[in-house]
Structure 1
């Protein structure tokens, strides 16, 4: 609430409270006003009480009345003044007590505010230190932000270059993909031809294997026949060797016999044979047939 409430408003509020038949107090006047601090209202309420006494004295100046009536009215007025003075003193004491309580409350509140102010000053000093630190950190972060902004610009440029490279690589990738597809088609065609050739080769190999098996069987038969013939030839050779050895023995024996016979012939015959021409002196004996 505002503490600078006008005194006329306080006086009007006190008159309204008194008109309702209630004793004007600080709380009642504040309630009537709806604003004002207790100290301000209490100070102005004291002035209202002083002015109330003056207003009551002004009403005591009455016109000339009969003696008894004037005396009775004067007695009544004095009683009213005395009662008003008692009420005023009681109200003043109450107001003083209220003011003392308000001052005590204000003193305590002032101490609390001083403590709060001290804490606030301490907090302010700490806040100032923190603010200076935060300012330093802010400058450091601003430098970091500038560095990051430079890095961001560099990264954006790198991103643009990479996007260009990516575009070129995408074109190259499409070209390679087309070549790859063509190569795959060629590979499939080659594989198909290779499969056909493999099948044909398998058939030829199968035919060759069958032919080889037949030739191997024929070869085996031929080897068997040749082996049998070789055995027969070996037997024949052994038999011929035996016959030849037998004939050689007989020839050797005959040659030895002939040599012995020649050595035992008469010398006259040898000499007579020297004078005879060769071919004429030889007898025409037929060689004996040597039996096998």
Structure 2
């Protein structure tokens, strides 16, 4: 039994091709031309072809040349038309496949490029979000420092107010001491005047009172010395407090300067944060736009893929048509072989009837 795809028509066509090359058709050559089939299958069919071909060559001498030329022309026309159709279908299919493949490559490259751009924008958005978080953290630290400076400023103001109160108290006490000193001086002047007035009248009484007055003067002098020492101490304390007040004022000025600098930094960081927020919004819009564009490209790719599938279906249909056409050609060749056999039999019929005549 012959294998699938190897029949008498295939062997006849291969043998005819080999003979046209000027070589003798043999089993090995026919098998090499077909690329398949066993020698046990090819040998009897090749022998049949040689027998029929030899008879046809000896028996077709009585046929009209016009009939032979017409059959050959019909065969060559059918064969040429079939070859042209096959070549056209192959060329058109190959061209369409190449075009679709090129379009698919372009779409894939564009899709890859869009994907890379989307990844870069997402990375940039992540970096911007990280920088925004760092700026917010820095803003929180600055606000905490600002709160601390404001607390120190309030505390310094309270300390200054307290020192001013102490200075006012010391000034009041100093004025009181001076008032007492002036009163004591006035009193001593009055006493001395009185003593002068009474000196002439009561010289004896004055002598008796000298000791007492001396003691009072000594006590008053001691008190005056103590008052003067207290005044000096108060003056030193006043000077010290004034120096502390000046230092606190300098500290307050420094804190105010730092506060202004921190406020400017806070303003600049807020402006940067707003700018980053605007950039983030812009990047988000770009991502949305690219996502839409990517979706459109994906839809376009799907449409091209559907087109490719349709073209492949058409290609399969054309291949099926080609197979059908090849089958029709084989049938036509078989019919031709049968016609040749009938012609051979018809040519033999007169030869057999001639002796009877």
TM-score (norm 1): 0.29
Q: Larger relative contact order (C-alpha < 8 A, sep ≥ 6)? A: 2
Structure ranking higher in helix proportion = 2
- Rg: which structure is higher? 1
